[in-house]
Amino acid sequence: MLLYSTLLATILLSYIPLLFVNGIPVQYDRRSKVGKKVKKVKNALFKGEGTYYDVPGVGSCGKPDTDDELVVAVNRDQMKNGANPNMNPECEKHVVITGDQGKTATARVVDTCPTCPRGNLDLSPKVFKLVCGDLGKGRCNIKWRFKNN
């Protein structure tokens, strides 16, 4: 009987440290990709299509603009409007856009393009003509990035 008591006590005592494992704080490796916030990469280059739209009026950034201005609407995914899109940190930033013929223009973000896929921009007619050429094209391949202000 003493042998069984000793054996049982040994087994029970060996499991006691396991009861405290969940309470030990663990520091995660900062190099780990799991659990890290993704930061915007400066000078990240996006690829997509440029289309043009009729600008006149007030865009999602809350200010009136015209077709004659160098302005763009960023796709919904990259614009990420919150409850008040007028307060969007992307508003009034500048983007550098290069068309498929190598022509480049800098434009100001003033609106959201709700139907544009990620990577695409809706350009004012003035920007479209500078970057893509004739409005009759309707769309062109573009590369663009946020300009460091």
The single-letter code of the amino acid at 87 is: M
Residue-wise pLDDT tens digits, 55-100: 989 999 999 999 999 999 999 999 888 777 778 889 999 999 999 9
Pair 78, 133: CB distance under 8 Å: no
**Cα angle 58, 63, 66; round to 5:** 65
Separation of alpha carbons 91 and 60, rounded Å:
9
- pTM to 2 decimals? 0.69
Domains located in the chain, CATH noted: 46-146 (2.40.40.10)
Separation of alpha carbons 128 and 101, rounded Å:
12
Identify the pLDDT of residue 37. Answer: 43
